[in-house]
Amino acid sequence: MPNNKDFKQVLNETLNDIKVNLTEEFDKNFERKAFFDQKWQPRKSKKAKGSLLIVSSRLRRGTKAQVINNSVVFTNDTPYAAVHNEGLRAGRGRGFTMPKREFIGDSPKVQEICKEIIENNINDFLNNLL
């Protein structure tokens, strides 16, 4: 029977694989201009230059992932990240509500990616026992 170190190693590898794969997928959301298959609302201004949400790439570069307490945690320290990701109020005075243009978060696609990684890593682990 395998010892705990073997199980811990599989868990750590699985969490790291999830971190790497989801980091790549969340980055691709900027290229897709969508949260996977949910397209972002286009800009109102036709005069605005650059691609939606990546004029300076600060928002894109600000997304970080860490493995903390057997979980993968994504953060973005860009001050306006939550406004864009969640569609919150922006501006001064009366301001306006920013359209939601999610780029990180949970979704059926995220769950599918995680499930596939977990299944593959467990199967590899079990196949190596034989």
Query: Could you tell me the pTM of the whole model?
Result: 0.86
Confidence band for 24, pLDDT divided at 50, 70 and 90? very high
The DSSP output letter for 87 is T
pLDDT of 89 > 90? The answer is yes
Give the model's pLDDT for residue 11: 95
Question: CB 75: neighbour CB atoms within 10 A?
Answer: 12
Confidence of residue 7 (pLDDT cuts 50, 70, 90): confident
pLDDT of residue 129: 78
Mean pLDDT score, 37-59: 74
- Give me the mean pLDDT over the 28-45 stretch: 89
Evaluate if residue 26 carries a pLDDT over 90. Answer: yes
> How is residue 73 written in tokens?
């945690």
Instruction: Report the pLDDT averaged over residues 39-61.
Output: 74
Measure Cα distances from 56 to 62, 80, 128 in Å.
11, 13, 46
Name the pLDDT band for 106 (thresholds 50, 70, 90): very high
Instruction: For residue 73, count CB atoms less than 10 angstroms from its CB and return exposed for 0-12, middle for 13-18, buried for 19 or more.
Output: exposed
Bridge-based pairing of strands 89-90 and 96-97 is antiparallel
Ranges of each domain in the chain? 4-43+50-129
Name the pLDDT band for 122 (thresholds 50, 70, 90): very high
Model pLDDT, residue 43? 77
